[in-house]
Amino acid sequence: MSDRTDLEPADLLENNRRWAAGKLAADADYFNRLQHIQQPRYLWIGCSDSRVPANTIVGLRPGEIFVHRNIANVVPHSDLNALSVIQYAVEVLRVRHILVVGHYGCGGVKAALEGTDLGEIDNWLAHIKDVWREHYDAVMALPEAERADRLAELNVIAQVQNVARTSMVQKAWAEGRSLSVHGWIYSLADGRIRDLDVTIAGCTDLHAVFRIGSDCRD
């Protein structure tokens, strides 16, 4: 593979021109069709890390997955950006699955563990520190080299909970719609995604504290 680190923006535009031409050559109606239809079944909530591109690693084409990414795949309760994405995906696109996908070797998780002063971003990383604090003894009992990857898993599990606690997701359940929130983790080392088996598919999977509305009582 040639050295791609010195590509200029103009080279990217040229890549794009060739890509679009290739698509049209294979299917003259390709863009016309995509323009009018967006019916993804999935919402991906993942890390911004450049090595974890959503569509590519699950083999989906444009139009097939709605994507939200931020540093260390965090879904804070009052993050307008994440909440807007979830609302649009659930209520307008009517996705059936929300995939919270973390990854091993996550720089955001490592930075939270190291506690170095990084400026503004430390306020964002505090969400991961909340998870670390909650599982402090279990994480610190591990060999140092394993802590970041375990915290990356625990962070996914915590963010699955945060997604399921949103009013939009609970409203979908109250309406009797099928909507599952999954927790996955991707390995940069082998390219594989592992299911953490923490899927939440209904409000009774939530602690009573977080249930919204009278439709969700045991």
Question: Residue numbers of the site for Zn ion (CB under 5 A)?
Answer: 47, 49, 106
**Inter-residue long-range contacts of 122-126, CB under 8 Å, 24+ positions, other chains counted:** 124/70, 124/71, 124/72, 124/74, 125/71, 125/72
> Which is closer to Zn ion, CB of 30 or CB of 104?
104
- Positive or negative, the Cα torsion across 173, 209, 135, 159? positive
Query: What's the token pair of residue 48?
Result: 């911004």
Is residue 102 classed as helix, strand or coil in its secondary structure? strand
In angstroms, what is the minimal distance from the CB of 15 to Zn ion?
25
Bridging pattern class, strands 97-103 and 42-47: parallel
CA distance 203 to 205: 5
In angstroms, what is the minimal distance from the CB of 159 to Zn ion?
12
Residue 103 among the catalytic residues: yes
In angstroms, what is the minimal distance from the CB of 39 to Zn ion?
29
The catalytically annotated residue of 103, 147, 165, 182 is: 103
In angstroms, what is the minimal distance from the CB of 72 to Zn ion?
5
Is residue 179 classed as helix, strand or coil in its secondary structure? coil
Strand partners, 66: 43
Identity of the amino acid at 48: S
Bridging pattern class, strands 97-103 and 65-70: unpaired
> Which is closer to Zn ion, CB of 95 or CB of 106?
106
> Which is closer to Zn ion, CB of 152 or CB of 181?
152
Residue 218 among the catalytic residues: no
The catalytically annotated residue of 17, 18, 51, 77 is: 51
Residue 216 among the catalytic residues: no
> Which is closer to Zn ion, CB of 47 or CB of 163?
47
- Catalytic residue list: 47, 49, 51, 103, 106
